[in-house]
């Protein structure tokens, strides 16, 4: 290897170790040496415009992409380098260097020797040992890994769009995975870098991969970030279902139900539902109906994760499935209360404490189904009689009422409960059946979506039962023009403090001996106290932009945890003393571990903003409580220069830039779920 290649090898070794090092031009001789002169044995990938080889650099490995002769346009090559140099993110494959080699070699043609130009262009990237995502679409079934891949792709795409890069060829084959299954976006051959104040690119060329290309591109519309969001939606849908077509959430959840442990389902079902919703929104044919940006998708995921974090603290999720006597899914009657079995001396005190609507000592959630009565049920055989009973079914859990013979208007008055830790299906079915000698006949059913079932919280009264029309197995309420009858039900999510719970049939209530009951330990879980945080961003003074001689539009970003809000551009535009006068509301939870971060950003170009000042404000000590809903005075704060991470105030080098804020913890507001009290014979929407 010559001196130039030896020097380049040392530079490349340094780039691999130092992540902040910039890519460099590499000689062809070094790339040939690392790939054993582009040996077929080291080939790891091949496409229409390039072949990828694994290169060996001492004890390290790299990927060398050798472009074909069909990809010899200088303009496209330079454009791809421009995009690669801009893209530096944990979810984008790291660009190490490039080679643009041109040589004149003597070639024999028709017994004559001619001088021919041989032009080679190559790229060098970090090596990704797991290969591309398309190899794992239909084989990898761990949801935790799938969710990490989905979120990583979204974060990588958000970074590209924030830096004015449109990928244009996003697909599983262009997403590589490292040893930890972290996804990294690659192949910027078709990508476009937008200039300052440019929101789209117009071109007559339709480029991309069939099946992932946004439909508006076929009509010759401009290249916009929304096209990448369409491709992202298809990728997420493929990870969820293995198919490119949109799928109903119910069907997606059913395909995953067999792969998940019951202890996972509460958390995972919500993640799958949100990811399927995101994918469906991204795949809308009209670009205006898609999410506004990849950042909005990330915010949606963060919001879901934060809410799940709260609920995991409120409700106890057992890591083991319930071990019940006999069948694991049978209901046992719980009348009287368990504490009553302790004896007359302790039963009154224990029952009183358990029934107190304000004393949530051991909050446990239950799905409660009250089966009251039915009317106008049809007869099922030639004898013109009906022996009805009701089956309450959720996944594998099933409860059955008593059978009332020869009764078309039966009254049951039975309550069933299923532990909130084992809600293993997204649908609750209440089925009316006719008891027969050989095989019970189906009369009709009512199906509830779990997401539509309201929460009941004391001291609000128990929801009133409501009449529901029965439908057949296909969901038709009036098959052949005849009614199947009606059933009166009350369905809600409640806790063990509800006054109706002692009368319920429980899904997991094994008989306990006196010794076993007295050895049962209780656990206490605290619900976080939620308070509104009101922040008014009024104005700033003496801002210093990224360029000393000018200041572009300035906006203020306010963040607490995963909640992010931004103001409109300050007025007048380009002023060093902008005015916003905008007010925002956030939800904070005691003991206020999240700090309030206010950042002033300068919009240097379309889709890109640079921070020019920031202030970090601990809520517990610096934000006043407004218990009487009075007016709170505003205050000026000094902005720190740049985005320094240290929270030590003495380490900040402050300058004259200031921002005026008015903040308060509005304790006169109450953040809670409103109870959904249904009135009999009244639709829920009439509340």
The binding site for ATP consists of 65
Which residues sit opposite 611 in a β-bridge? Answer: 601
For the annotated binding site, the residues are 65
Lookup: tokens for 81: 């380098």
Lookup: tokens for 611: 């921070």
Count Cβ atoms within 10 A of the Cβ of residue 661 and give its class: 0-12 exposed, 13-18 middle, 19 or more buried: buried
State which H helix or E strand residue 314 sits in: helix 294-314
DSSP state at residue 455: B
Task: Using alpha carbons, list the distances in angstroms from residue 641 to 27, 611, 644, 645, 648.
Answer: 41, 9, 8, 11, 14
How many other CB atoms are there within 10 angstroms of residue 119's CB atom?
A: 12
* Strand pairing category for 563-566 and 554-560: antiparallel
Q: What angle do CA 72, 73, 78 make, to 5 degrees?
A: 110
Q: How far apart are CA 332 and CA 155, in angstroms?
A: 48
Q: How far apart are CA 319 and CA 307, in angstroms?
A: 20
423 touches 354 (CB < 8 A)? no
Q: How far apart are CA 196 and CA 603, in angstroms?
A: 10
DSSP 603-664: EEETTEEEEEEEEEE-HHHHS-B-TT------EEEEEESS------GGG--EEEEEEEEEEE
Q: Respond yes or no on whether the N-terminal peptide bond of residue 535 is cis (omega within 30° of 0).
A: no
Nearest alpha-carbon partner for 470 in 396, 377, 543: 377
DSSP 180-206: T--EEE---TT-EEPPTT---B--S--
How many other CB atoms are there within 10 angstroms of residue 673's CB atom?
A: 10
* Strand pairing category for 95-109 and 24-25: parallel
Q: How far apart are CA 163 and CA 185, in angstroms?
A: 14
């Amino acid at each position: 290897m010559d001196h130039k290649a030896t020097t380049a090898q040392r530079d490349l070794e340094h780039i691999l170790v130092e992540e902040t090092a910039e890519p460099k031009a590499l000689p062809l001789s070094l790339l040939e040496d690392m790939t054993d002169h582009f040996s077929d044995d080291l080939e790891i990938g091949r496409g229409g415009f390039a072949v990828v080889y694994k290169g060996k650099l001492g004890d390290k490995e790299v990927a060398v992409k050798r472009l074909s002769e069909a990809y010899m346009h200088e303009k496209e090559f330079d454009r791809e380098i421009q995009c690669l140099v801009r893209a530096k993110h944990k979810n984008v494959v790291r660009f190490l260097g490039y080679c643009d080699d041109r040589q004149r070699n003597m070639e024999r043609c028709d017994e004559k020797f001619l001088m021919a130009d041989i032009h080679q262009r190559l790229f060098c990237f970090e090596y990704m040992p797991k290969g591309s995502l398309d190899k794992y679409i239909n084989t990898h079934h761990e949801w935790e890994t799938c969710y990490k891949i989905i979120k990583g792709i979204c974060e990588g795409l958000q970074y590209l769009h924030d830096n004015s890069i449109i990928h244009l060829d996003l697909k599983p084959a262009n997403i590589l995975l490292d040893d930890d299954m972290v996804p990294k976006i690659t192949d910027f051959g078709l990508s476009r870098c937008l200039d300052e104040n440019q929101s789209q690119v117009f071109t007559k060329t339709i480029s991309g991969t069939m099946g992932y290309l946004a439909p508006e591109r076929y009509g010759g519309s401009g290249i916009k970030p929304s096209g990448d969001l369409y491709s992202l939606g298809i990728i997420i849908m493929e990870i969820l279902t293995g198919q490119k077509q949109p799928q109903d959430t119910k069907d997606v959840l059913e395909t995953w139900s067999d792969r998940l442990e019951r202890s996972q389902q509460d958390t995972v079902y919500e993640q799958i539902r949100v990811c399927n919703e995101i994918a469906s929104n991204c795949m809308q044919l009209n670009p205006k109906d898609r999410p506004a940006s990849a950042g909005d998708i990330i915010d949606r995921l963060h919001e879901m994760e934060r809410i799940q974090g709260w609920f995991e603290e409120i409700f106890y999720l057992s890591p083991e499935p319930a071990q019940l006597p006999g069948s694991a899914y049978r209901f046992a009657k719980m009348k009287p209360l368990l504490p009553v079995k302790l004896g007359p001396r302790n039963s009154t005190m224990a029952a009183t404490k358990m029934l107190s609507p304000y004393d949530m000592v051991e909050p446990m959630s239950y799905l409660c189904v009250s089966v009251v009565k039915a009317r106008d049920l049809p007869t099922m055989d030639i004898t013109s009689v009906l022996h009805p009973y009701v089956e309450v079914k959720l996944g594998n859990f099933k409860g059955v009422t008593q059978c009332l013979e020869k009764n078309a208007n039966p009254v049951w008055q039975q309550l069933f409960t299923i532990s909130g830790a084992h809600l293993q299906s997204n649908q609750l079915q209440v089925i009316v059946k006719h008891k027969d000698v050989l095989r019970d006949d189906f009369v009709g059913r009512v199906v509830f979506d779990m997401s539509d079932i309201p929460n009941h919280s004391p001291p609000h009264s128990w929801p009133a039962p409501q009449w529901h029309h029965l439908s057949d197995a296909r969901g038709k309420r009036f098959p052949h023009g005849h009614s199947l009858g009606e059933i009166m039900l009350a369905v809600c999510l409640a806790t063990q403090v509800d006054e109706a719970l002692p009368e319920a049939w429980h899904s997991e209530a094994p008989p306990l001996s006196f010794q076993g009951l007295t050895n049962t330990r209780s656990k206490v879980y605290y619900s976080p106290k939620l308070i509104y945080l009101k922040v008014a961003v009024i104005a700033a003074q003496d801002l210093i932009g990224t360029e000393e001689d000018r200041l572009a539009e300035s906006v203020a970003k306010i963040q607490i945890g995963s909640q992010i809000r931004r103001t409109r551009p300050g007025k007048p535009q380009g002023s060093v003393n902008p005015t916003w006068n905008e007010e925002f509301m956030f939800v904070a939870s005691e003991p206020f571990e999240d700090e309030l971060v206010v950042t002033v950003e300068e919009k240097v170009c379309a889709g890109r903003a640079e921070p020019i000042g920031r202030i970090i404000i601990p809520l517990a000590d610096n934000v006043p409580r407004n218990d009487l809903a009075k007016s709170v005075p505003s205050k000026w704060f000094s902005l720190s220069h740049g985005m320094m991470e240290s929270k030590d105030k003495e380490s900040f080098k402050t300058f004259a830039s200031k921002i005026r804020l008015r903040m308060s913890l509005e304790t006169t507001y109450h953040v809670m779920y409103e109870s959904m009290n249904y009135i009999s014979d009244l639709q829920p929407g009439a509340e």
